[in-house]
Structure 1
Amino acid sequence: MKHYTYDEWLQYVNDEINENSRQELEDHLYSCDQCLNHYLMAMEANESSLPILSDMSEFTDSVMAEVSKQKIVVPDTVRNLNTMLMVPSVPDTKNDTKNDAKTKMKKKPFYQQAAFHYLLAAAATILLTFTGAFQSLATYANSLESPQPQVQKKKHSVTEGVINKTFAWMDSLEKKEAVKK
């Protein structure tokens, strides 16, 4: 990557370069922090020659008026991307008024609807309620609130119970095989 010198940025700030070089420098600013620092130093050095704004709100209004006068051109690729993502897009002025209503409001997919999110939350709540997750949380919270530590019996999990029964069954099979021999 080619870096530009402070003097080149000073020429840019003073508007002493041609249009091609200007575009090249502006494009480079997006990707280089070092050159951005040189540019900012050149701006600070040239700050005294910049005009002083007497009324900032008037300046802002005039800039916004100029921006609103500009015609916004949306490339077809952006319009196609918005269609693919089901994003409401700016209606095309070339279409007739019948199609304008369709382009203004595009239907969102079901998973982006608020009702879908409410149903999903309700289903998750019911599932957690029936599996006992809330009950175990309440029991855990009560055990934290109690002033005396309680000695609890070791509770076996379902998995341990299944494993114990499996081993007992395997042992009984081994005994039967030993009896047969």
Structure 2
Amino acid sequence: MTTHYSRDHWMKYVKDELNETERIVLEDHLYTCDQCLELYIDAVDKQEEILPSISDEAAFMNDIMKKISNDMVIENVGEKKRPFYQSSIFHYAIAASLTLLLMSAGFFQSIIKHTETIQKAELSVKQEPKSGGLVDKTFAWMDSFEGNKKEDFKK
């Protein structure tokens, strides 16, 4: 049977007054229990009423955006720039130059000639299907049978 938690327990969770293991247990419980989810939402709503209201929302948002952009600039400064030979444009340039080199040397044409030779050899090795030979023999036998009948009529 599922254990349900009280409204006070969820208020402690919302106020961050529980240790980490209890928080994990409560979070996992929220995935499976709709009744406790409603209690949690009520606790969040009550906690929201206690929080102070923001007088100038635009200024507050601008301050947050400035802090985020400053943090991103600091992170970008800490990153090292990759050498040119590790960039993708370098790899594409090498691939294109090798392709042009192989094309100018006739490498791809020799491969095509080789495959044509193999295909011709396969065509010459292929035998006529047995059903085709059987049909030809049957028609030849029928023709000879009809020829014998005609000779019998003439006699």
TM-score by shorter chain over 0.5: no
TM range (shorter): 0.3 to 0.5
Q: Which has the higher helix share?
A: 2
TM-score (norm 2): 0.38
Structure 1-normalised TM-score? 0.34
Higher relative contact order (CA 8 A, sep 6+): 2
